[in-house]
């Protein structure tokens, strides 16, 4: 009995160890498997790119203060960021070269948005030294 193609299930002609009938079926099958395995990665990258675009739009000159509701109205997702940068007394949630630090002024919630500066390159973050 001839083996069948893993993608289209047609009989395979040729070597006994072949799994696909042609290159199209092989590529289609592997792309489908990759898509299923990387669904979360694609979703996270989507939100990180969108967040970066929002930060860039709200911070055209390298530094800005914006209300939290403005972020939310633009679709910012606070769960997704690329890294954390700590300065003296502030934690910045970065999306590539843009980031924000939450600010509370009474009952108002705002964010200080920054664009990455050269001096930030020398920063080494050690998550085990973080004090909660």
The overall average pLDDT reported for the chain is 89
**Chain segment 70-103, per-residue pLDDT in tens:** 999 999 999 999 999 888 889 999 999 999 999 9
Q: Which helix (H) or strand (E) holds 54?
A: helix 39-58
Q: How many domains does the chain have?
A: 1
Judge whether 95 lies within some domain.
Answer: yes
Residue 68: which of 27, 98, 109 has the closest Cα?
Answer: 109
Given a cut of 90, is residue 2 above it in pLDDT? Answer: no
Judge whether 87 lies within some domain.
Answer: yes
Given a cut of 70, is residue 131 above it in pLDDT? Answer: no
pLDDT at 124: 67
Q: Give the structural domain span for 73.
A: 39-129
Judge whether 12 lies within some domain.
Answer: no
């Amino acid at each position: 009995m001839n083996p069948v193609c893993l993608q289209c299930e047609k009989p395979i002609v040729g070597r006994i160890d072949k799994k696909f009938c042609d290159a199209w079926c092989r590529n289609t099958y592997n792309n489908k498997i990759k898509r299923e395995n990387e669904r979360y990665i694609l979703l996270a990258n989507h939100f990180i790119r969108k967040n970066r675009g929002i930060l860039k739009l709200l911070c055209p000159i390298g530094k800005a203060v914006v209300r939290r509701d403005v972020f939310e109205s633009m679709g910012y997702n606070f769960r997704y960021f690329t890294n954390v940068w700590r300065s003296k007394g502030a934690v910045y949630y970065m999306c590539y070269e843009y980031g924000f630090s939450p600010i509370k002024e009474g009952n108002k919630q705002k964010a200080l948005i920054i664009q990455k500066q050269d001096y930030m390159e020398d920063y080494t973050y050690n998550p085990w030294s973080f004090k909660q």
